[in-house]
Amino acid sequence: MEFVQQNIWLILLAAMSGFMLFGGGLFGRLSGVKQVSPQEAVMLFNHEDALVLDVREKSEFSDGHIPKAKHIPLGQLKTKVGELDKFKDKPIVAVCRSGSRSGHACGMLKKAGFEKVHNLAGGMGAWDQAGLPKER
């Protein structure tokens, strides 16, 4: 018990680190949002006609994006979600730079009634690392 009292900050730091490493994936599973790899995303595009929703800012999108991606910045998604209604029965793969903003977009889409929502794990960084094509 004395060890715990003397090292409480180290213990809290270790607990926070663990949560940050594993909590994101757990949240995704609990919220019903599936994290997909770039290769899994390509399979969704090719076999299930998934929509790619890029939620990055305009300048980021202009620097290069996944071919045929629909661009709606995260800050505008709440007011423009109606533009996606025709895709409610199709899978949607949300993408951003790292996977964080697109994770938020997935949550917004789930609340709006979209069922087949996926987050591109690692975002465009993972897409680039996989050597997959982009267009400008």
Comparing CA positions, the residue from 24, 91, 92, 101 lying closest to residue 60 is 101
Among 50, 77, 94, 96, the active-site one is 96
What's residue 18's pLDDT? Answer: 60
Residue 136 has pLDDT above 70, yes or no: yes
Asked about 106 being catalytic, the answer comes back as no
Query: Against a cut of 0.75, is the pTM above it?
Result: yes
Rounded mean pLDDT of 62-89? 96
